[in-house]
Amino acid sequence: MAVSSSAEVPLLSIEGLSVYYQQFRALHGIDIAVGQGEIVSIIGANGAGKSSLLKAIVSQVDRIEGRIQFAGANIANQPTPAIVASGIALVPEGRRLFPSLTVEENLEIGWQIGRKGSGVKLSEVFDLFPVLREKRRQPAWQLSGGQQQMVALGRALLADPRLLLCDEISLGLAPTIVNDLYTLLLSINQRGIGIVLVEQDIRRSLAIANRFYCLLEGRISLSGKPSDFDRDTITRHYFGS
């Protein structure tokens, strides 16, 4: 499915993207495409530019060069709220919930920022994460790390995205909870939502990805289908040895 759709006009297409933070250049002219309903994994060591890539897509970096096309429209340098409202939702690194808001209020923020006429209902998110239904009235800071990650994911889903950007969603979570989250990602993907997964833990993210890009010091060192490469090759391009 993923292969045939990526042959058409991709959902997200990035060409020659460079990202700058003042004098520092975090990405050096990279090309990336994500097809409709495709899961694309972005792997790379700490500081390789993975988070910069996601932040550049939603216009949250100092300065970029290059083209970013989403669903046929240019979104480079558009304001973040407009990009999110056009159908790209970010699950940020560290979850970034609003601690004093209740679980339900945090989720409803997703409605406010998302595509207008969003068809996703709160009850659907509670069906995906039943534990959140019980805790809907509790402030977000009282939740465990895994539950907070579910809220962050639910908030992004309520924005009714066509493309979901996940930044290190397994960081700091117990392995069983990470398994649950990845199972959920697959069911989210089955709704036709494209997913970009940024992870340092490559084993899990490569297991569910249709394609991957490996970043090394701001450049793409390897890309393709996970099954096309053996572990050693990927590790070599990951660390650049």
- Residue ranges binding other proteins (CB under 8 A): 55, 58, 60, 79-81, 83-85, 89-90, 92, 96-101, 105-106, 108-109, 111-113, 155-156, 159
Q: Any idea how long the chain is?
A: 241
Task: Single out the residue of 30, 60, 70 nearest to residue 222, CA to CA.
Answer: 30
What's the closest the beta carbon of residue 112 comes to other proteins, in angstroms?
6
What's the closest the beta carbon of residue 126 comes to other proteins, in angstroms?
18
194-to-31, 100, 157 alpha-carbon distances in Å? 17, 31, 12
Give the span between the Cα atoms of 162 and 139, in whole angstroms: 29
What's the closest the beta carbon of residue 135 comes to other proteins, in angstroms?
17
Nearer to other proteins (CB atom), residue 99 or residue 240: 99
Give the span between the Cα atoms of 145 and 171, in whole angstroms: 10
Nearer to other proteins (CB atom), residue 100 or residue 144: 100
What's the closest the beta carbon of residue 209 comes to other proteins, in angstroms?
24
The token pair at 89 is 């939702």
219-to-16, 124, 193, 194, 223 alpha-carbon distances in Å? 11, 39, 26, 23, 11
What's the closest the beta carbon of residue 81 comes to other proteins, in angstroms?
5
The residue behind tokens 């297991």 is 207
Q: Which residues contact 42 (CB under 8 A, 6 or more apart)?
A: 32, 50, 53, 54, 196, 197, 198, 199, 212, 213, 215
Nearer to other proteins (CB atom), residue 113 or residue 128: 113
The residue behind tokens 């940020």 is 92
Nearer to other proteins (CB atom), residue 97 or residue 163: 97
> Collapsing DSSP states into helix, strand and coil, what is residue 52?
helix
Nearer to other proteins (CB atom), residue 164 or residue 220: 164
Nearer to other proteins (CB atom), residue 84 or residue 214: 84
Nearer to other proteins (CB atom), residue 86 or residue 200: 86
What's the closest the beta carbon of residue 62 comes to other proteins, in angstroms?
14
What's the closest the beta carbon of residue 37 comes to other proteins, in angstroms?
22
